[in-house]
Amino acid sequence: MPTAVEQTAARGLEGVVANESSICYVFGEEGRLIYRGYDINDLADHSTFEETAYLLLNGDLPTREQLKGFSSDLKAAQKIDRVVQRVIRDAPTNANPMDVLRTAVSASAFVDPDRGNNGREAEYRKAVRLIAQLPTMVATFHRLRNGEKPLAPRRGLSLAANFLYLISGKTPDDELEHAFDVALILHADHELNASTFAARVIAATLADVHGAVTGATAALAGPLHGGANTEVMKMLLEIQSPEGAEAWIHNALAQKRKIMGFGHRVYRTEDPRAAHLRRMSETLGSRAGQPQWFAIQRTVEDVMRREKGLYCNVDFYSGSMYYVMGIPLDLYTPIFAVSRVSGWCAHVLEQHADNRLIRPRAEYVGHMNRRWVPVRKRG
Ligand code: ACO
């Protein structure tokens, strides 16, 4: 008689090492993060999103020439095909932008020039197109739902500045562009987080890049993952003022509410990305004449550390930073995707370079040895 697997499941796969990777690593105890061996603080201080995306995909920082070529490939691929435009246009104006993005990514497989070709070079070209096009997809829907004409991407701008231009019609000043670019660098990859693992599981069946990125986008949308940044801002709006923050958070904890933007599966100390976002959120908040959100957040942070021993994660200060930049709440998670697509694609390429199907086992806890009975005899 067959028996079930006699192993205990690691709930949520906590602590399980699922594959080798040379893309990114989270040092949970120390609060350190590296992309391809480079410390995230160095990249945030000195790099650009384009350079970081190249690093993730190729393994090394680009030379001047390589960066020029990569940036011009991105710019050449920014426009989205009519078929994808139509899919976005057909979405109801009250659709969730993450649902629209997921659908647009999936639809872009119909018209990808390399469709059907899963060779390494074709997959790299698909990755470049997806990195270039996600900003246009998000902004196209945003403009349409506001009754505005989608704008054409501007080739002279960086990916960060172009995204801000596409959603608002205004070219950002240097400070806003730089802050947004740093936010994109910080979100670009994070080892085997849920959406990246989803992408790798899909890719490991030898499914295509678009399928893997579609699935990853779906996984990112959840409030326990990338969806938390929007929830953080909803919470700050509910708290309203710094004076009410301490009482609000005590009350929420007493009700056993999960506080969005706190906790992490791997970090046991501060998420190194949060320090950059905290600084930028404070600076941009005062610049926008809205210092209250930062003040509320400092109180929430203090209480969470004192009462729960929990530190904030990447989603805590990104929400308030985007808010004071005038970006609507439901675009925060799509912005996460605009950056993370670079990491997802790097992982798909790595998975396909040395593929093995990802197929774990379950610890079976259900019934055994039941006998089928006809429907008329079932009580
Ligand atoms: N607020 C209150 N309590 C929390 C929080 C939180 N944000 N996070 C963890 N805890 C508590 C849990 O209640 C649990 O306590 P218990 O052992 O007394 O029941 C303990 O800490 C462990 O929490 P788990 O949820 O089991 O930890 P897990 O590793 O499964 O989850 C997660 C990590 C999902 C990030 C969790 O901390 C959480 O839900 N945070 C809020 C959502 C969030 O900010 N997500 C973004 C994560 S970063 C990213 O994906 C980009």
What was the pLDDT predicted at 7? 79
The position carrying tokens 């506001």 is: 146
> What Cα–Cα distance (Å) separates residue 336 from each residue in 43, 59, 163?
17, 22, 12
Residues 191-197: what's their mean pLDDT?
A: 98
What was the pLDDT predicted at 11? 95
Report which of 319, 234, 233 is spatially closest to residue 278, judged by C-alpha positions.
319
pLDDT in tens, 210-242: 999 999 999 999 999 999 999 999 999 999 999
H or E element at residue 200:
helix 194-203
What was the pLDDT predicted at 2? 54
* Domain that residue 250 falls in: 228-324
Q: Are residues 239 and 196 in the same domain?
A: no
Q: Are residues 161 and 253 in the same domain?
A: no
Assess whether the C-beta atom of 259 lies below 6 angstroms from ligand 1: yes
Q: Per the domain annotation, does 300 fall within a domain?
A: yes
pLDDT in tens, 340-358: 999 999 999 999 999 999 9
pLDDT in tens, 4-61: 666 789 999 999 999 999 999 999 999 999 999 999 999 999 999 999 999 999 999 9
pLDDT in tens, 264-305: 999 999 999 999 999 999 999 999 999 999 999 999 999 999
Q: Are residues 280 and 161 in the same domain?
A: no
Hey, which of 33, 40, 196, 224 would you mutate to test ligand 1's pocket, going by the most ligand atoms within 8 Å of its Cβ? 224
Asked if the model's pLDDT at residue 334 lies above 60, the reply is yes
What was the pLDDT predicted at 186? 98
Q: Are residues 143 and 279 in the same domain?
A: no
Average pLDDT of the chain? 96
CA-atom Rg of the chain in angstroms: 22
Assess whether the C-beta atom of 343 lies below 6 angstroms from ligand 1: no
CATH of the domain at 267: 1.10.230.10
Q: State the closest ligand 1 atom to the C-alpha of 261, by its place in the atom list counted from 1.
A: 44
Residues 103-111: what's their mean pLDDT?
A: 98
What was the pLDDT predicted at 3? 60
Helix 120-145, helix 82-90: angle, nearest 10: 40
Asked if the model's pLDDT at residue 181 lies above 90, the reply is yes
Percent of all residues in the chain with a pLDDT value above 90, rounded to a whole number: 97
Instruction: State how far Cα 256 lies from the chain centre.
Output: 27
Tally Cβ neighbours within 10 Å of residue 267.
24
Percent of all residues in the chain with a pLDDT value above 70, rounded to a whole number: 98
Domain count, the chain: 2
Instruction: Confirm whether 210 is a catalytic residue.
Output: no
Assess whether the C-beta atom of 261 lies below 6 angstroms from ligand 1: yes
What was the pLDDT predicted at 4? 66
Dist. CA 258 → ligand 1 center (Å): 7
Q: Are residues 102 and 201 in the same domain?
A: yes
Sign of CA dihedral 218, 220, 221, 225: positive
CATH of the domain at 71: 1.10.580.10
